[in-house]
Structure 1
Amino acid sequence: PVAEKLKPGGKLEAFDKIATIVPPDSELIVQATLPDSTATPKVGEPVVIKITNMQIPGIITEASPIPGADGKRRIIITPKVPASQIFAPGLPVQVTIKDQQT
């Protein structure tokens, strides 16, 4: 990973991505990977996003039962709170769909 290359003595290669610049007013999404044992949720289903000691409501905006090229199924969630209040790009979160966790 690029993080290893950014340590003292590391070497970046051409076209290595080291940052993503996102406009502050852009829409925030959360991408979650579904475990194999989890049924594919429906678009519009409410979820809870947990980050540190906060619980933020969200809604599933994309979900497909078909795995991506890497074999993982993903869902896209839109939080119901402005991004500037709670998130930073790449921040790990926990998503709860009803009584299941992803």
Structure 2
Amino acid sequence: MICHRDKDGQPLELMEWARLREDMEYRVVAEDRVAGQLVRTVWEGIDDGVRVGCMWANGISSDGENFRTVWEGYWPCTQDEATAAHRETVETVRAKQSTAVE
């Protein structure tokens, strides 16, 4: 059964979840620009009861293209975990950029 949750993991009614999903200020928990790429981590708020659903998502966008997901097979359960994973993604992008420049 799918449950909708806020950033603190508290259950939400469907309409409250939908309202929060439209609020990008609420959804974005971390955002960094690295060498022309935007790395963004957002709250999704979906708990499917199997793997804590998609509570958080992380993606990279270059030059305004659609975001491509970074965390395949890894789904943070808390905002702290999502923020830490975001920092790791930023460091990975920075490392790839410095390698590409060399």
TM-score interval for Structure 1 and Structure 2 normalised by the shorter chain: under 0.3
**Structure number having the greater helix percentage:** 2
Q: TM-score, length-normalised on structure 2?
A: 0.27
TM-score by length of 1: 0.27
* Rg comparison, structure with higher value: 1
